[in-house]
Chain A
Amino acid sequence: DTGVSQDPRHKITKRGQNVTFRCDPISEHNRLYWYRQTLGQGPEFLTYFQNEAQLEKSRLLSDRFSAERPKGSFSTLEIQRTEQGDSAMYLCASSLHSGRADEQYFGPGTRLTVT
């Protein structure tokens, strides 16, 4: 399968613990996005990378959240000191940005439950 993959698919953690999610984009894609989706809502943008550079972060991304894309390939999203409000589906998407309209391809998501 050459689509976007995410790991793990499900994560249950206790409040206060740190968690890290991984996203592997489609191999030639230079842009990588993270979104968060809570129940009954559409996905909300968190941050994006062009190659290894993190170019925008949403105000939703508090200082407990950090994302990296060290070699311009896979990305990780870490949440420190998790809170119950962090429970959500975390979605990763990638695209090939070439100066024209580009479509984003999403992974299956990581569902986080904070107890």
Chain B
Amino acid sequence: DAKTTQPPSMDCAEGRAANLPCNHSTISGNEYVYWYRQIHSQGPQYIIHGLKNNETNEMASLIITEDRKSSTLILPHATLRDTAVYYCIVRVGSGNTGKLIFGQGTTLQVKP
């Protein structure tokens, strides 16, 4: 599975959009981009995933560049409850084990 690079920390003002970047320059054609977050002392929470098209759900939007070497997770209106560690993970979508390989993630601090 391809490796990802994320900034270690980011701040965002409450009510503003939080844009979390992720680089995955060695991604293969059959690898998906997944985002999870982990609020302190809880299990990770699935947010969104995509292959090459942009995706949106009730939690967030995922923007993947045309060359698929990077992506951005967008939380449109961040709240204090969005303070968490956000993990960008690249893995093969079907077959294999489906295991997730977590990096260090980005600690997002939403400030009032």
Report A's interface with B, CB cutoff 8 A. 4, 31, 33, 35, 41-45, 48, 55-56, 91, 93, 95, 97, 99-109
Contacts and interface: CB of A to CB of B under 8 A. Distances in A.
B68 interface: no
A54 to B, nearest CB: 11
Contact of B98 (A35, A95, A105): A95
Contacts of A102: 93, 98
Contacts of A45: 97, 99-101
A75 to B, nearest CB: 15
B41 to A, nearest CB: 8
B45 A104 contact: no
Nearest to A46: B99
A42 B93 contact: no
Contacts of B97: 45, 48, 55-56
24 contacts: A33-B98, A33-B100, A41-B104, A42-B87, A43-B100, A45-B99, A45-B100, A56-B97, A56-B99, A93-B44, A93-B100, A99-B94, A100-B94, A101-B49, A101-B51, A102-B93, A103-B34, A103-B46, A103-B49, A104-B46, A104-B98, A105-B46, A107-B43, A109-B43
Contacts of A100: 93-94
Interface in B60-112: 85, 87, 93-95, 97-105
A92 to B, nearest CB: 8
Contacts, number: 61
B32 to A, nearest CB: 5
Contacts of B94: 99-101
Nearest to B31: A101
